[in-house]
Structure formats: structure tokens, C-alpha cells
Structure 1
């Protein structure tokens, strides 16, 4: 049985406020560039690559933005729980509840690329324990389930 966290999914300006508060709460600065990257990521309908985000931020800013700069910001966002990395796609998804920390189980559609997530503490806890039993510490489970979403399966 999945353990469900009760958290509020934020959007729009409220999501930006929550993200800014979470980042500054982690001792980092909320800069204009970081805000542009976050806003661009939040506007994506599907997981986006750093190159896609760099291109969109470049258009927004009216000048070229290096993908390496975006990668560094995205890595910071993942470390501070503002974004999630979809490992199998090397793409990123905004975390719409940045104040809530848990291990997500991602569902990724092989047809349209849509990604969603759910929480299952029993599953991710078992993976943590298995890692610890094999001598690993600070285990961070990354679980991705690939298949067809309900829209593509019809």
C-alpha cells in the first residue's frame, strides 16, 4: 500500500514564491537567472533537457544562454528539492511542492513523454534498506516506471 503525503501542489506565482523561499532557506541565493530557469522549467508540459531550457531562457533574455550554466542551476534545484531529474531521459521536471521531501516513483510515457509521479514510502524505504544492507550509506532511490499513459494506451 502506498503511503500518500498530503502536500499542496503549487502553480504560477505561488510556486515561484515557494521555490524562492525553499532555495533561500537552504542558504542559496534566488537570482534573476535562477528564477528565469525555474519559471521556464515550470512552464514545461513534459520533462525538459537543459538544452531546451537554455534555448527558452535565451529567447526570454534576448541572448544566448550556455547549457552548462543551466545544468549547474538544475543540479542546484535537484539538490534543494525544487526539481526532479528523470534519469532515463536526462531531463528535468519542476517539483510543484518544494517544501516536501520524499522519494518519488516516476511514471513516464514511452509514447508522448508525459511524466507523473506518486509516493510509495514502503517501496522506496525497502530500496533504501537494501542499499544499506549492501554497505551503502546516504541511499537515494530513483524509481522510474516506463509504459503508456492512459491517453496513449487507448
Structure 2
């Protein structure tokens, strides 16, 4: 059966996204602790990729106590492994995965001007990357495709 190059998802938001993330983490055999919930809620509140330090600050403010970035990094690594978050490698930043029930490789369009990051799904393209790696004798475990440039709002002739 041929797969569509682009596919669309139901993308839960707010409490539905948190519930979906909790279910995904529990399916992965992990516990949904209050700290993990706080980190996910903070991560999901950002409209752009957020660093572990940004997330630690947001959780610290919400909880009224200091939360170490190292603790947040460990939780984010767990989230990435459970498909609850995506890491934008070039920015060392994270985005909540708005469709954690769907496993596929992602493509990020990262604006060098404003930092806005757009997530694309193109299974045909990412399958081609995996196949090229395999042809070179390499096993791609987590392909990361990032395209750096300028978004439509920051494109040529636009002032920031």
C-alpha cells in the first residue's frame, strides 16, 4: 500500500495534549510524575522551541521553587525517547510533539531570524533519507532533518 507523502493528524491541544502525553509515557512503561507533568505543561506552553533552561525557569516560576536545568534535561530526554517531544538539534531546544501517537521522522523548517520552527511530515522524503543511509551501509536510528532559512514573515524585504 502506498503511503502518502504528507499526512495530517488530529493535534490535541491543552488538557487533551497533556492527557495524550501521559498515556504515551505510560505506554512506554514510565510513570507520569508531577514533575514530568510540570515539565510537559511548560514545554507545551512555548510557541517556539524552548531550551531546558527556558523550561526550568517556567517550571520554577509555576512551582515557586528552583528547578535545575539538569533535571529538566533528563525528563526531556525521556520525552524524546517516548515520542512526546522533538529536539531541534541545531538550536539545542525542544518542542512538544502535538501528535505523540504517530511515529515518523520529522522535518523542521527553522527561521534564523525569529526562531519560529515549522514541523513537516513528508514520509516519502524521510523514507528516502533512511534508504540512502542504508545504501551507504548505515543504520539511521533517528534521522534529524532541519532546514535553516527565513520564514514567510521574515523573508526578503521584511523588517524585523
Asked whether the equivalents of residues 132 and 139 of structure 1 are also in contact (C-alpha less than 8 Å), the reply is: no
Q: Deviations 1:106-136 (Å, cap 9, x if unpaired)?
A: 0111111000111111211111112222222
Distance (Å, rounded) in 2 between the aligned partners of 1:114 and 1:96: 16
Number of the residue aligned with 2:50: 48
Deviation at 1:31, TM superposition (A): 0.5
Deviation at 1:138, TM superposition (A): 4.5
Distance (Å, rounded) in 2 between the aligned partners of 1:93 and 1:83: 6
Distance (Å, rounded) in 2 between the aligned partners of 1:22 and 1:59: 26
Q: Please list every run of at least 4 consecutive aligned residues from structure 1 whose deviation after the TM superposition is greater than 4 angstroms.
A: none
Asked whether the equivalents of residues 131 and 139 of structure 1 are also in contact (C-alpha less than 8 Å), the reply is: no
Number of the residue aligned with 1:23: 25
Distance (Å, rounded) in 2 between the aligned partners of 1:37 and 1:145: 27
Asked whether the equivalents of residues 105 and 121 of structure 2 are also in contact (C-alpha less than 8 Å), the reply is: yes
Asked whether the equivalents of residues 76 and 85 of structure 2 are also in contact (C-alpha less than 8 Å), the reply is: yes
Distance (Å, rounded) in 2 between the aligned partners of 1:57 and 1:130: 41
Deviation at 1:5, TM superposition (A): 2.1
Number of the residue aligned with 1:148: 150
1:1-154 residue pairs with structure 2 within 5 A? Answer: 3-153=5-155, 154=158
Alignment coverage as a number of residue pairs: 153
Asked whether the equivalents of residues 40 and 56 of structure 1 are also in contact (C-alpha less than 8 Å), the reply is: yes
TM-score (norm 1): 0.95
TM-score (norm 2): 0.91
Cα root mean square deviation, aligned: 1.2
Distance (Å, rounded) in 1 between the aligned partners of 2:25 and 2:134: 29
